[in-house]
């Protein structure tokens, strides 16, 4: 028998439903294998260590084992079988007899059965993985099993009244969570253990199962609730009710409150190698793929075969990485650099999936393309670069230096319009920085640096316009955005009292201190200012991030030390929080004459807003860094500072009168959120990148890289969803079957339920249209209504790996189900389906 499994990184577990109460149990599997002499003891532990970090995958049983088994998982020395009533663990342990080095194997089978359950409920695979399992048994193809789907998790709903169970883990650790709904009784959960000679609860509270083959340890149950966004542990322990039965003893807890985890960390991953790695800029395409630009000094930064540059060229190199929508794998990843130091600061995308990257290079051999605007290094300490990478990351569409004979660079940022023009801002000390005739400011104004704004044509062969932007002091462009008309909006910092402003602008005079932020709107030809204003008080003020809405309002974030930074009445935080800095979030009206709103955002420590994004409803999303222990949090993923500086992610409502959510994101080291972007879903996901020095940064199971790569810092990429819990029906709908669709048939299966009118909505939906090849898998449920014999529910999903939304309507017309109906609409399209060909819809209320 030949058995092949394509092992890939798994899709991330999406737990986007409210959890009331959870008990996490962990089975630790460490098969002991004594090695014969001559075996490499130096290599083998490293291999096992790496393998032990691989995520567990569950194969659907399609005839490769007993029919009672619904899912199975194979690991080093064990096979795990799941049936509707039990978990069975088959262990194969090896020992070497010292006399003749003969290896003997001992088989141990342990069965953990759920006692006193509801009638057996179906097991459902959650988060289908890209890997498939294949079995080739003998030479008769009838016995072969191919393309067997694999899953990151398996869930079973309603095993006890109000209690679900989820199985997941990695190759050395099997975990299962009991999820207990409001008013449900956790004491109903009982396990029977067969195959163990003896059970005990040790001094650490672990359940130890002794057998002839050794010990299997089940970690002490982790019991917790989430109340008002705060995870609160509840004391819990195992109780041996007789020799081979196990129950739980739970301390007092609040059994009345349904809890909402809002937002949800859909995925979070490290991104780095054995040295320093930082993510600066981030973009997202229509399918939900995240693109990250930054820099790395790691010689083993993760790259992909066929990428443009798979090896470091020396010093620091820029990198460009494209992550799939679940954060579980790289679509492509490439170095970008020459023999000197190269840093990628900004990234933007066009509709075709080309990535436009800007940054700073000190390499005289930075990769450029023939016919590009500037193919030779300009001189001085550094030049800017602008590079367009093709959709597969395998080649440069164009790549050009941008600089003069002095120092050019800094934290450059980039934006792209619908025609493929790239807009870049940064700093320059070059008196001969390339400008264009008729541009707003063609001469260097003085001081150590001026900001610049440059528009590069779609081919990278020329400049549409290029202008200095500054006075006779220090001026730096930190962020840029562009509207549909081609106006460029720039924010940054100026230390000068003669920075160019426009009459009637909100603030035409320097506020004081070391420096002020500025907000400038440049016309589509780059020949003049639509408006330009200072933004600051008497302290230090810097603008780091800017975005713009369809009406031309500019949204800015940055830092301030001033107690008199301009705020607006009714804003969320009108007083300085204290400490070194506060972040700020400011909305400037389309004419630049006034502030629609302006608020501080910070606690008693140091708080900095680095990047800002905007959804269609006018909510602003900000990421940055904080070391405040009292940074304002609302519905957080992480309610407390993890140590040192943490990243933060905050959603500000359209009037800035309140926060929709605000969360820390970090571990015990120093962490910074540097870039943020939103996808195009109706309730958008926020994608964040930055840097972390924490070996315990919050990552998610199945993410591409769940362990710190090394050096002093790694980049990170996180995807956060705001889960809105609407008023819902109380009930449950289950189904599976086939329907007729245009050109063929489709099959579906789902479970959806809610036990409270305020949510949460839990469940899973899978739908395959065999005529078109479309495969739909739910991510989160946002609506659920039952009226009579009809149920309607919807939410977010993936379709062949791309982000989507769905709505399902079903009717339960009685048994045996031949008159039941199922229709589904994806992304608002025409409904598919109708009366079932086979199967059954069951509505329980």
Higher pLDDT among residues 633 and 726, named by residue: 633
Position 462 scores a pLDDT of 98
The answer to whether the beta carbons of residues 656 and 601 sit under 8 Å apart is no
User: What is the mean pLDDT of the segment spanning 5-14?
Assistant: 23
User: What is the mean pLDDT of the segment spanning 803-831?
Assistant: 87
Higher pLDDT among residues 278 and 194, named by residue: 278
Higher pLDDT among residues 67 and 549, named by residue: 549
Least confident range from 15-24, 496-505, 662-671, 682-691: namely: 15-24
User: What is the mean pLDDT of the segment spanning 40-44?
Assistant: 30
Q: Measured at the alpha carbon of residue 92, what is the angle toward residues 86 and 93, in degrees to the nearest 5? A: 130
The answer to whether the beta carbons of residues 766 and 736 sit under 8 Å apart is no
3 state SS for 440-506? CCCCCCCCCCEEEEEEECCCCCCEEEEEEECCCCCEEEEEEEECCCCCEEEEEEECCCCCCCCCCCC
| pLDDT confidence bin for 252, thresholds 50/70/90 | low
Task: Indicate the pTM of the whole model.
Answer: 0.63
Least confident range from 229-238, 245-254, 580-589, 616-625: namely: 229-238
Q: What are phi and psi of 72, to 5 degrees?
A: -140, 160
The answer to whether the beta carbons of residues 336 and 308 sit under 8 Å apart is yes
Could you give the dihedral angle defined by the CA atoms of residues 95, 98, 103 and 106, in that order, rounded to the nearest 10 degrees? -30
> What average pLDDT does the structure give for the chain?
84
Percentage of the chain lying above the pLDDT 90 cut: 53
816 burial via Cβ count (<10 Å: 0-12, 13-18, 19+): exposed
- The length of the chain is 845
Position 842 scores a pLDDT of 87
| pLDDT confidence bin for 212, thresholds 50/70/90 | low
User: What is the mean pLDDT of the segment spanning 717-727?
Assistant: 70
Position 121 scores a pLDDT of 78
Cα–Cα dist 691/624, whole Å: 11
Cα–Cα dist 14/763, whole Å: 11
Cα–Cα dist 760/350, whole Å: 37
DSSP state of 683: S
User: What is the mean pLDDT of the segment spanning 110-139?
Assistant: 76
Position 213 scores a pLDDT of 55
- Hey, where are the domains in the chain? 18-250, 731-844
| pLDDT confidence bin for 776, thresholds 50/70/90 | very high
Position 135 scores a pLDDT of 67
The answer to whether the beta carbons of residues 365 and 339 sit under 8 Å apart is yes
Beta-bridge mates of residue 678: 686
pLDDT at 199 over 60: yes
Q: What are phi and psi of 44, to 5 degrees?
A: -60, -45
Least confident range from 349-363, 691-705, 713-727: namely: 713-727
| pLDDT confidence bin for 512, thresholds 50/70/90 | very high
pLDDT at 22 over 80: no
pLDDT at 31 over 50: no
Position 98 scores a pLDDT of 44
Higher pLDDT among residues 794 and 407, named by residue: 407
Least confident range from 375-389, 572-586, 795-809: namely: 795-809
Percentage of the chain lying above the pLDDT 70 cut: 82
Position 713 scores a pLDDT of 97
User: What is the mean pLDDT of the segment spanning 157-163?
Assistant: 77
């Amino acid at each position: 028998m030949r058995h092949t499994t394509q092992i890939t990184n798994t899709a991330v577990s999406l737990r986007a439903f409210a959890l009331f109460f959870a008990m996490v149990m962990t089975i630790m599997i460490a098969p002991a294998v004594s090695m014969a002499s001559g075996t490499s003891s130096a290599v083998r532990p490293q291999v096992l260590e790496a393998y032990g970090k691989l995520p567990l995958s569950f194969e659907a049983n399609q005839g490769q084992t007993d029919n009672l088994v619904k899912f199975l998982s194979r690991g080093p020395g064990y096979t795990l079988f799941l049936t509707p009533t039990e978990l069975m663990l088959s262990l194969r342990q090896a020992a070497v007899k010292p006399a003749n080095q003969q290896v003997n194997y001992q088989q141990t089978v342990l069965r953990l059965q759920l006692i006193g359950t509801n009638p057996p409920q179906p097991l459902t695979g959650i988060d289908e993985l890209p890997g498939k399992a294949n079995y080739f048994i003998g030479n008769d193809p009838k016995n072969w099993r191919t393309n067997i789907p694999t899953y990151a998790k398996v869930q079973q709903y309603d095993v006890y009244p109000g209690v679900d169970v989820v199985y997941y883990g990695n190759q050395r650790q099997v975990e299962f969570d009991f999820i207990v709904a409001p008013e449900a009784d956790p004491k109903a959960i009982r396990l029977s253990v067969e195959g163990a000679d003896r059970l005990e609860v040790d001094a650490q509270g672990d359940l130890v199962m002794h057998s002839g083959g050794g010990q299997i340890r089940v970690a002490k149950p982790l019991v917790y609730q989430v109340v008002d966004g705060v995870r609160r542990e509840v004391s819990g322990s195992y109780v041996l009710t007789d020799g081979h039965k196990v129950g739980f003893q739970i301390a007092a807890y609040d059994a009345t409150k349904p809890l909402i985890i809002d937002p949800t960390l859909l995925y979070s991953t490290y991104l780095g190698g054995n040295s320093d790695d930082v993510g600066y800029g981030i973009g997202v395409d229509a399918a939900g793929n995240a693109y990250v630009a930054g820099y790395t000094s790691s010689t083993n930064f993760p790259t992909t075969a066929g990428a443009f540059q798979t090896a470091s060229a020396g010093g620091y190199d820029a990198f460009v990485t494209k992550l799939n929508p679940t954060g579980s794998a790289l679509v492509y990843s490439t170095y970008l650099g020459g023999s000197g130091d190269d840093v990628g600061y900004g990234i933007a995308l066009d509709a075709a999936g080309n990535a436009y990257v800007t940054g700073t290079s000190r390499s005289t051999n930075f990769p450029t393309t023939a016919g590009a605007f500037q193919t030779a290094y300009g001189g001085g300490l550094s030049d800017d670069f602008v590079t367009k990478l093709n959709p597969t990351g395998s080649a440069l569409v164009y790549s050009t230096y941008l600089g003069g004979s002095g120092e050019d660079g800094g934290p450059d940022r980039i934006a792209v319009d619908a025609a493929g023009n790239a807009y870049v801002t940064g700093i320059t000390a070059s008196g001969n920085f390339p400008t264009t005739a008729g541009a707003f400011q063609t001469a260097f104004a003085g001081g150590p640096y001026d900001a610049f704004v440059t528009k590069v044509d779609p081919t990278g062969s020329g400049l549409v316009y290029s202008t200095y932007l500054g006075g006779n002091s220090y001026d730096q462009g930190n962020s840029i955005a562009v509207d549909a008309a081609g106006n460029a909006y720039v924010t940054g910092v100026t230390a000068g009292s003669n920075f160019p402003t426009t009459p009637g602008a909100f603030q035409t005079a320097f506020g004081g201190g070391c420096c002020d932020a500025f907000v400038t709107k440049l016309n589509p030809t780059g020949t003049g200012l639509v408006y330009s204003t200072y933004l600051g008080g008497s302290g230090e003020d810097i603008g780091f991030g800017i975005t713009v809405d369809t009406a031309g309002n500019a949204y800015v974030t940055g830092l301030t030390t001033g107690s008199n930074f301009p705020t607006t009445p009714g804003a969320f935080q009108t007083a300085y929080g204290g400490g070194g800095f506060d972040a700020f979030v400011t909305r400037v009206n389309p004419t630049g004459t006034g502030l629609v709103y302006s608020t501080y955002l910070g606690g008693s420590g140091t708080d900095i807003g680095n990047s800002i994004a905007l959804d269609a409803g006018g909510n602003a999303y900000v990421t940055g860094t904080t070391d405040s222990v009292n940074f304002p949090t609302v519905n957080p993923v992480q309610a407390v500072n993890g140590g040192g500086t943490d990243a933060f992610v905050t959603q500000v409502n359209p009037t800035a009168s309140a926060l929709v959510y605000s969360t820390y994101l970090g571990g015990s080291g120093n962490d910074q959120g540097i870039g943020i972007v939103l996808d195009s879903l109706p309730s958008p996901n926020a994608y964040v990148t930055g840097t972390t020095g924490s070996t315990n940064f919050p990552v998610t199971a199945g993410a591409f890289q769940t362990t710190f790569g090394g050096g002093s810092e790694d980049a990170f990429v996180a995807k956060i969803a705001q889960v809105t819990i609407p008023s819902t029906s109380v009930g449950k709908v289950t189904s599976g079957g086939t329907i007729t669709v245009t050109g063929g048939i489709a099959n579906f299966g789902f479970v959806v339920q809610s036990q409270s009118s305020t949510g949460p909505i839990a469940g899973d939906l899978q739908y395959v249209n065999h005529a078109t090849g479309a495969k739909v898998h739910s991510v989160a449920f946002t609506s659920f209504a039952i009226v009579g014999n009809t149920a309607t529910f919807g939410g977010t999903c993936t379709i062949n790996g791309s982000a989507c939304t769905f709505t399902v309507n079903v009717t339960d017309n009685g048994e045996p189900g031949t008159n039941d109906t199922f229709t589904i609409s994806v992304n608002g399209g025409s409904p598919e389906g109708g009366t079932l060909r086979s199967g059954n819809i069951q509505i329980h209320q």
